[in-house]
A and B are shown apart, each in its own frame.
Chain A
Amino acid sequence: MNEQEYVLSVKVSNNNGVLPRVGGLFSRRGYSIKSLNAAETEEPDISRLTIVVSSDLRVLEQIKNQLMKLYDVHEVKILTDAVTREHILIRAGNSAEDRHKIIEIANLYRAKPVDISANSIMLELTGEPAKIDSFLNLLKPFGIIKMVRSGITALERD
């Protein structure tokens, strides 16, 4: 079967050690995580993990069933119709001749300069993962010094 990326939205108890439980499950069973985002939700005792996995449908079903066996996991949803967003912070080269070009690209994508120094410029951008990817591609020629991606967060549509 064909491997494909899927987005899982996982509700878990905010207990000590819930991340190693989930992470350990993926590593010991050889499931591949592309990204994992974890944070609190509207309920203080509950966190939501947004996990992007690469798998075929059979393994996807396995991942879902295995996750549901963890006591701290309350719900696993495979998102098909959802708003997906990723946040990126990126520091790119900033020579005098590049600065305008970088800002031009940033404006095109509505990325915001958040820190500027003599040698570099830091931009932030939130958007769909594909938009982030294309933004990164355009910035690459100018030299990416450092970057951090949040991993995907997603909520299903009503």
Chain B
Amino acid sequence: MILSGSDIIVECLLEQGVNTVFGYPGGAVLNIYDSLYKYSDKLRHIITSHEQGACHAADGFARATGKTGVVIATSGPGATNLTTGLATANMDSVPLVAITGNVSTDLLGLDSFQEVDITGVTIPITKHNFIVKNIAELADTLRLAFDIANSGRKGPVLVDIPKDITAATYEYSPAESINKAGRETYDSSNIDYALELIEKSEKPYIYAGGGIISANAEEELKTFAELCDAPVSCSLMGQGAYDQTDRRYIGMLGMHGTVKAAAALNSCDLFIGMGTRFSDRVIGDAKVFGKNAKFIHIDIDPAEFNKNVEVGCTIKGDIKEVLKNLCGKISQKKCGWTDEIINGDFGEPVQKGTSELPVTPQAVIETLDKLTNGQAVVATEVGQNQMWAAQYYKFKEPRSFISSGGLGTMGFGLGAAIGAKVGRPDKTVVNIAGDGSFAMNLNELITASSHNIPIIELVLNNKVLGMVRQWQRLFYNKHFSQTTLDARHIDYVKLGESFGIQTFVIEKCEDIEPVLKKALDISKSAPVMIEVRIDRDINVLPMIPAGKPVVNPITEIDLEA
């Protein structure tokens, strides 16, 4: 049948099983929005306050569901507003398809109104991108975009479509998705070597990253850990890849990982990293990272091998497949060291502040964990709020922790929580924010209330940019440069209510449970916000300073000194 380009776009989205898109209209996408109007019974469109929020929402949707998120933006500023969201998704390997309008092909390259070379701009922050200058290629390009976003190591793909292409008509016939993107093949040549290392190891330690979640390999990981009789840590991106209430789980590894995980790293004889890119925030000083251990690295992306840490035994492939293969060949191990680590007391720090404010973020998050039975989807902003969420919420299942790990995008969480809730309406979705991150993209509260997306926005308000302040305290002679936000007089209750969002304040310890309960109840049908007033000097501990060896983490910071 003959369809307009914009109808072809919507048909192609439906082909891919897309039922929700996030976006913002504008001149260059008028044709697309006209088709969205026509197809509104088949495809839900959620307008956000800002394209960045739409991109984070599509990202949160993708992380929470495992499906590909879709975002639509107009040309020029609409497109450039996506860039932070695309870079965020790119760093965390999130499958996303961004569709941008552009000026008509005859106006391209002439500095036309709202023209920007968005494919040029986004080359380094997308997995791939396209500009469609011929309507004959439109449908297959969109199919290919989904294929690329979802193959191998996943990532965002942008498709830029000039306005005349969306207006033109062309023959459209529905097609199965195409399979043109390269698939990483399984290279099993090192399997025997890996098996030998595992066989010989007396102190194996498993470190699982976000790749486990992307590959849906959590069950294989669990079986593998039991067969190896190894303790398990997860990276920040790997939160939820392993049930944190299981005895083998010894906490996060890295800059704000547990003392126990650091001890395991330094005493293990075999370090098995999987679905991880050995981020600098984890390895600290690469030269001495796990210096007593041999390494196995399993990943779908061979470019991660020997990039940050030199590894003897690398296995390229889909982790699920690799782990299945390994599990079929390992004989059950028993390691005395593992029990020593799991049961050992390594002196985990207590995080304290200085002021009279009694409520601590850890108490709030632990109560939230208890009340939701560790089964909520928790989004975060970036900074202390993010680390506390990772440290104190006991994630039990994949796709329940939604956080900007690689790019560290403040302002990510609210949009992402909205997307996550749209994708998983059955789940309680909480965004744990700091007051700094909250202020960056609080405009998306309007999205939550206008579409009645019932999330809980939990703002840990310490009136400072806490993580930066923590570094200033430790490394910049307590010069709290531009990180004290006392002059911001925000009445969260009035602010929330002006957007039509019920808002509560937690100021006393005895408020924590009843307010959280009330919020959880309201969030069955409407969005709700909580301001938690906390001390500004509670530091995230333990801490390994950037670039330093992951040995003897800082467990106490003298607030008087």
Give the contacting residue for B303; candidates A16, A24, A69, A71; CB below 8 A: A69
Given A17-B123, A20-B120, 4 other A-B contacts at CB below 8 A? Answer: A24-B123, A61-B306, A65-B305, A69-B303
Report the minimum CB–CB distance from B146 to chain A (whole Å): 13
Q: For residue A62, which residue of chain B has the nearest CB?
A: B307
Q: Which of A63-110 contact B (CB under 8 A)?
A: 65-66, 68-71
Contacts of B148 in A (CB 8 A): 71
A30-62 interface mask toward B, CB cutoff 8 Å, 1 = contact, 0 = none?
Answer: 000000000000000000000000000010011
Give the contacting residue for A24; candidates B124, B131, B306; CB below 8 A: B124
Q: For residue B306, which residue of chain A has the nearest CB?
A: A58
Report the minimum CB–CB distance from B160 to chain A (whole Å): 11
B126-157 interface mask toward A, CB cutoff 8 Å, 1 = contact, 0 = none?
Answer: 01100100000000000000001000010000
B406 within 8 A of A: no
Q: For residue A65, which residue of chain B has the nearest CB?
A: B303
Q: Is the CB of A69 within 8 A of B124?
A: no
B302 within 8 A of A: yes
Q: For residue B133, which residue of chain A has the nearest CB?
A: A16
A28 within 8 A of B: yes
Q: Is the CB of B120 within 8 A of A71?
A: no
Contacts of A69 in B (CB 8 A): 153, 301, 303
Report the minimum CB–CB distance from A154 to chain B (whole Å): 24
A21 within 8 A of B: yes
Q: With A16-B131, A17-B119, A71-B181 in contact, is A66–B303 under 8 Å at CB?
A: yes
| Interface of B toward A, CB cutoff 8 Å | 119-120, 123-124, 127-128, 131, 148, 153, 181-182, 301-303, 305-307, 310
Q: Is the CB of B128 within 8 A of A71?
A: yes
Q: Is the CB of B123 within 8 A of A20?
A: yes
Report the minimum CB–CB distance from A150 to chain B (whole Å): 26
Q: With A28-B124, A71-B148 in contact, is A62–B306 under 8 Å at CB?
A: yes
Report the minimum CB–CB distance from A62 to chain B (whole Å): 6
Report the minimum CB–CB distance from A99 to chain B (whole Å): 47
Q: For residue A21, which residue of chain B has the nearest CB?
A: B123
Contacts of A21 in B (CB 8 A): 123
Q: Is the CB of A65 within 8 A of B302?
A: yes
Q: For residue A57, which residue of chain B has the nearest CB?
A: B306
Contacts of B181 in A (CB 8 A): 71
Distance in angstroms between the alpha carbons of A21 and B125 in the assembled complex: 11
Q: For residue A20, which residue of chain B has the nearest CB?
A: B123
Contacts of A28 in B (CB 8 A): 124
Report the minimum CB–CB distance from B257 to chain A (whole Å): 27
Report the minimum CB–CB distance from A152 to chain B (whole Å): 25
Contacts of A17 in B (CB 8 A): 119-120, 123
Contacts of B119 in A (CB 8 A): 17
Report the minimum CB–CB distance from A116 to chain B (whole Å): 41
Distance in angstroms between the alpha carbons of A16 and B124 in the assembled complex: 16
- A-B contact list, 26 entries, CB within 8 Å: A16-B131, A17-B119, A17-B123, A20-B120, A20-B123, A21-B123, A24-B124, A28-B124, A58-B306, A58-B310, A61-B305, A61-B306, A62-B307, A65-B301, A65-B302, A65-B303, A65-B305, A68-B302, A68-B303, A69-B153, A69-B303, A71-B127, A71-B128, A71-B148, A71-B181, A71-B182
